[in-house]
Chain A
Amino acid sequence: MSDQRLPSASAVEAATRFSNRRLTADELQAYVDAPVSEAERQEALRLIRWFKTRYPTPAERLSYAQRAYARWNAQQR
């Protein structure tokens, strides 16, 4: 059994604060404008096509999102 320690509450709080911070206009633009490789672009398009084909209606997509979140949430426990 591995000896894994959970991060402290303050570490989790700091990480959350960092990931929820508001970027400056320049930071946001730099992120949005970062070059996309052709492979990355094709992978994103493939994922969108798969999702819209597998779940053709908005209701099915929302239902998928609920299941996906429930799965993710269960894995966090």
Chain B
Amino acid sequence: MRGSAFDELSFFAAIQGSGARALLIGRRALVILGLPVLTADYDFWLHSEDIEKLNEATRPFDLEPNRSPDDARRSGRYVLENDEHIDVLVSDSRTTVDGVKVRFEDLWSRRVSVDIGSAKVFIPSIDDLILTKRIAARPKDAEDIRLLERLKEAQDE
């Protein structure tokens, strides 16, 4: 992994320019907000109609989808990869481990726009990021929820 230089700012600018409704979730969103956590991958939650737009935008970065758009819609996720690994969730909704339905449209309507150099990246609100962590519900997601709670506290100081 990481054999070639990857221009992250151009990558985000390309996604923004494509018009794809893509929310950056996962630990990279936590880093943007101010949590110094370790992460290797990129995680997006994408509107299911925008798979082709995202694939087209990321092709110049030699990122190859591991599934066709139709297969990705059926399975609810796919991966874009070369030296980088981009996990893409494409479901209209997911359910948290305690049974709360989380809809992409709701998260998108509450999205936060962040300037990354000359590009904009859309991330969920902190409370919505916590909801996405409750979907995956791995031990590291539990740890991230605790960190996000501290981040909220820090923002209230």
Q: For residues 95 through 123 of chain B, which have their beta carbon under 8 Å from a beta carbon of chain A?
A: 97-99, 114-117, 121
Query: Contact residue range for chain B?
Result: 35 or more
Who on chain A is nearest to B12 by CB? A62
Q: Tell me whether B34 and A51 are in contact (CB under 8 A).
A: yes
Q: A72–B37 Cα gap in the complex (Å)?
A: 12
B60 within 8 A of A: no
Q: Could you count the A-B residue pairs with CB atoms below 8 Å apart for me: how many are there? A: 97
Who on chain B is nearest to A51 by CB? B36
Q: A31–B146 Cα gap in the complex (Å)?
A: 9
> Which residues in A have their C-beta under 8 angstroms from that of B9?
59
> Which residues in B have their C-beta under 8 angstroms from that of A31?
139, 142-143, 146
Q: Tell me whether A23 and B39 are in contact (CB under 8 A).
A: no
A6 within 8 A of B: no
Q: A55–B143 Cα gap in the complex (Å)?
A: 22
Q: Tell me whether B28 and A25 are in contact (CB under 8 A).
A: no
Most buried by A among B34, B98, B117, B141: B34
